[in-house]
Amino acid sequence: MSQENSVQTRDENGYDYDVLVVGSGFGGSVSALRLTEKGYRVGVLEAGRRFTRESLP
């Protein structure tokens, strides 16, 4: 696979972050907030359960 193809694949998926925060606990959440306030594009990875509107009381 050429470098050109890998760049196209990344763009097609839409994942382009300046910073990736691992964990969305208190520290990760605050870090992500502060970085976005400074204009960074931030992604957050969390291994825990995903909650949807339908699963909340």
Handedness of CA 20, 23, 29, 31 (dihedral sign): negative
CA separation for the pair 25, 32 (Å, rounded): 10
Asked if residue 57 is part of any domain, the answer here is no
CA separation for the pair 42, 31 (Å, rounded): 10
* Residue-wise burial string across 6-30, b where 16 or more C-beta atoms lie within 10 A, e elsewhere: eeeeeeeeeeeeeeebeeeeeebee
Residue 56 has pLDDT above 90, yes or no: no
Can you give the pTM of this predicted structure?
0.63
Residue 34 has pLDDT above 90, yes or no: yes
Asked if residue 53 is part of any domain, the answer here is no
Asked if residue 25 is part of any domain, the answer here is yes
Total domain count, the chain:
1
Asked if residue 43 is part of any domain, the answer here is yes
Q: Which residue has the higher pLDDT, 37 or 10?
A: 37
Q: What is the pLDDT of residue 30?
A: 98
